[in-house]
Amino acid sequence: MRGPANLRSYGLLVREAQVLIAREMVGPVLARKFPGGGVEDGETPESALVREFREETGLEAHVLQLLHAPGTLMSPWTNAPYTPLYYAVAADGEPAPQPPEFLPLRFVEARVLFGAEDVAEPEQVALRRALDLAA
């Protein structure tokens, strides 16, 4: 049985109304995104998220809950299908870019991401849900 197209897991780490974001090229767009990435064969979305979060930030993420599962979408930036899952996560420590990607990471005020052209719409929905959870 075949899984969803390009299944991806992302983690939202929220601390005091700030969320951890990475900058990464997605097609032609330098996007602000949440740490995470592709689910590999034999992985659950949650185990893939823990692995990807460690690979990108150096932090051990603990998956708290699923925030948003919008189904398979067509990326406006790559014109390819993808199936994102967004999770609330907890992690101790300070994130640091990890080799080989060295993605720029930082905490930003969550509110500045709403309506931003370099933040995908499903990520904005997930962020609203994460902020409701953190409140």
**Structural domains in the chain (count):** 1
1 domain residue, yes or no = no
79 domain residue, yes or no = yes
Please give the chain's pLDDT, 135 residues, in tens.
Answer: 467 889 999 999 999 999 999 999 999 999 999 999 999 999 999 999 999 999 999 999 999 999 999 999 999 999 999 999 999 999 999 999 999 989 999 999 999 999 999 999 999 999 999 998 876
89 domain residue, yes or no = yes
The total number of residues shown for the chain amounts to 135
19 domain residue, yes or no = yes
2 domain residue, yes or no = no
Domain with 108 in it:
7-134
Cα separations in angstroms, 122 against 55, 73, 97, 110, 114: 23, 9, 24, 14, 11
The torsion angles phi and psi of 39, rounded to 5 degrees, stand at: -90, 125
pTM for the full predicted model: 0.95
Cα separations in angstroms, 11 against 54, 79, 92: 11, 23, 14
